[in-house]
Amino acid sequence: MSTFLDHASTTPVRPKALDAYLEALAHLGNPSSVHAHGRETRELLEQARELLAQAADCNLAEVVFTSGGSEANNLAIKGFYWQRQQDKPRNYIISALTEHHAVIDPIEWLEQHEDVQVLWLPVDKTGQPDLSTYRAWLTEFGDEIALVSLMWVNNETGAIWDISTIAAMANEYGIPVHSDAVAAFGHTEISFRASGLAAMSISGHKLGAPIGVGALIVSRSQKPISLIHGGGQERGLRSGTMNYPHALSLATASELAVKDMVEREARLEILRDQLEAEVLEKVPQALKTISGARIGHTASFIFPGVQSDSLLFLLDQKGVSVSAGSACQAGVLRASHVLLAMGYDEAEASAVIRVSLGHTTTEADIKAFTQAISEVYEMALRAGLNH
């Protein structure tokens, strides 16, 4: 029997989200067509937009459907940067090296191909940003900063950042703030309307929708430059035939995730705390990467003296699926860039295991992991699997 505890990489599709997808797929028509078939599918698309807007607490005109979080992040980062060059050069971007690579890589691409200077915000070992440095940079470079891009919840450690404060500080200087909210949306209280953000990214397969759909929520006051040009769909920000089956599935999953969020996350936090207590009892050498302000369904440990990939392999042999952090680096395991940015050394950042819970997680799953980890850790130590 297999145990899946890698919900932060992807979580099972919710049955109602699957039903919505299949029902929409049965309808024929291009949402941009003016005939009856087209109007029918357009109605499904706009129904999805309205449902998602309610879940994110934003205006329905602010919902721009994408293929997922990576596309949404690229649209926001490159689009805002290019838009902000139109009246005068603004070449600074503020971000953090604890971001997902779907944020770091577009910023580094701009650094390589445009005249961009990146201010990487320091992060301490609790996973929290240095807001005094952030304030100093806003004061010193305010008129030269194109945008700020900082995530709401860290996908590896679960650390929660005070995005409303971060946005409010930047807004004093008229600087748009984008947040990768992929690990946050549907898992913690979010109101785009109240956040002060210019844009935030979400991804369906973290919520119980199929892989391949997400959204960028973009304030009506903002108009980033599009990455994809064509028919001018989605406010001219994302041209292409609009994917109404995926959109409806995303909206349905989002509605359900927000509706059961408080009860679900409270239940998962109890299970997470139980898991952490049992791991630390069975493997006293293990270290929690952070505590404090963090999401309820994510646990992150360092297992000294071994490599993450060795533990992942041995756990997989016992039917337990977890990760060493983000699953989005083309299957290549390396030291966690998040832990390195938090001040951990290379050996520690290469010995991390992330356990993430989801809507299907049970106490039996927790037991399966805690029983397996003590065995495989001892096996890895005995075998000298530290390189």
Catalytically annotated residues: 328
* Phi, psi values for residue 180, rounded to 5°: -75, 105
What is the rounded distance in angstroms from the CA atom of residue 262 to the CA atom of residue 267?
A: 9
Q: Roughly how many angstroms between the first and final C-alpha of the chain, as a whole number?
A: 30
* Structure token digits, residue 305: 């003296």
**CA atoms 33, 34, 40, 45: torsion sign:** positive
Q: Which H or E run contains 369?
A: helix 363-383
Asked whether the beta carbons of 154 and 336 are under 8 A apart, the reply is no
How many CB atoms are closer than 10 A to CB 216? 26
DSSP character string of 234-278: GGGTS-S---HHHHHHHHHHHHHHHHTHHHHHHHHHHHHHHHHHH
Asked whether the beta carbons of 216 and 228 are under 8 A apart, the reply is no
Closest CA to 184 of 208, 201, 164: 201
What is the rounded distance in angstroms from the CA atom of residue 144 to the CA atom of residue 246?
A: 39
* Structure token digits, residue 352: 């991390």
* Structure token digits, residue 60: 């329905």
C-alpha R_g of the chain: 21
Closest CA to 42 of 51, 50, 31: 31
Asked whether the beta carbons of 333 and 308 are under 8 A apart, the reply is yes
Long-range pairs for 16-20: beta carbons < 8 A, 24 or more residues apart: 16/252, 16/253, 16/256, 17/208, 17/209, 17/210, 17/249, 17/250, 17/252, 17/253, 17/256, 18/210, 18/249, 19/252, 20/248, 20/249, 20/251, 20/252
